[in-house]
Amino acid sequence: MSVLAAGFGLVIGALLGLVGGGGGILAVPALVYGLGLPLAEAVPASLVVIGLASAVAVAPRALREVNWRLAAVIGVAGVPTAIAGAVVNHLFDQRWLMLAFAAIMVAAGLRMLRGTDEAGGVCELPGGGVAWRRCLPRAVAVGLLVGFLTGLLGVGGGFLLVPALIVALGLRTPTAVATSLVVIVANSAAGLLPYLGASAAGMNWSVIIPFAGAAIVASLPAGRLARRLTAATLRRGFAVLVLLVAAGVTAQTVTALLTT
């Protein structure tokens, strides 16, 4: 089990390092279907793994590529909704949540296949500043949505956040990737809060520790490799992977629903 968990961790860490997100969208299915954890345990486990790996992955980019002011706005906006999402998670049948998860994966994958504008715009000014009058409402809206999905589904939000930062806020890909990692750390920590305390002792640490350790190890070299590949190559490859995983999750969840 530990070896399998480490293998999944390497994939998740590589994705975080390469494209600044996507780890959580694959970590939950890996924990549920690959390692046999119930969704209620997979969600907090995913938040631990994604939060730690993202913190390590952003370190080499912290000074040059992170837009810290935007990260702060989006991160702060997402904290209350991440907590709300974690509370709402317990109110729904976990199988229907997995179907919702798959639908979001399909939407994100298709959007990334369509490509994005690399020219900057709404938020990022030519001189490197931020056009706050136009940018602030969008940044807050992005933070609220991504935060809620983080708590509800146990994802860091990067699979939605990177496209949102590029498309909705107009950031260039390197800035979007690095900034998303900072927000993922904040969202993961906030989403984990409702699970702390008594429930933390019941978490499957024999799976989480090798999973997180391998993800951290993979994230740094993947980040260096990302600088040698084009943004379009990374984005399209990740989109195809997300769509394949969404198909697998849908098939298994529908089968479970039909057999009960």
- For the record, the structure tokens of 32 come out as 């549920």
223-227 contact pairs (CB < 8 A, 24+): 223/17, 223/18, 223/57, 223/60, 223/61, 224/17, 224/60, 225/17, 225/18, 226/17, 226/18, 226/19, 226/177
Q: For residue range 93-141, what is the model confidence (pLDDT) as tens digits?
A: 878 888 887 888 788 778 778 765 554 566 766 666 677 888 899 899 9
**Model confidence band, residue 192 (pLDDT cutoffs 50, 70, 90):** confident
Q: Is 36 left (phi over 0), alpha (psi -120 to 50) or beta?
A: left
Closest CA to 6 of 172, 206, 166, 246: 206
Backbone angles phi, psi at 124, to 5 degrees: -90, 115
Averaged pLDDT for residues 201-225: 85
The count of structural domains within the chain is 1
Percent of the chain residues past pLDDT 90, beyond the cut: 7
Taking the C-alpha atoms of residue 158 and residue 140, their distance in angstroms, rounded to an integer, is: 16
Q: Is 235 left (phi over 0), alpha (psi -120 to 50) or beta?
A: alpha
Tell me which residue range forms the domain holding 226. Answer: 2-258
**Global model pTM greater than 0.85:** no
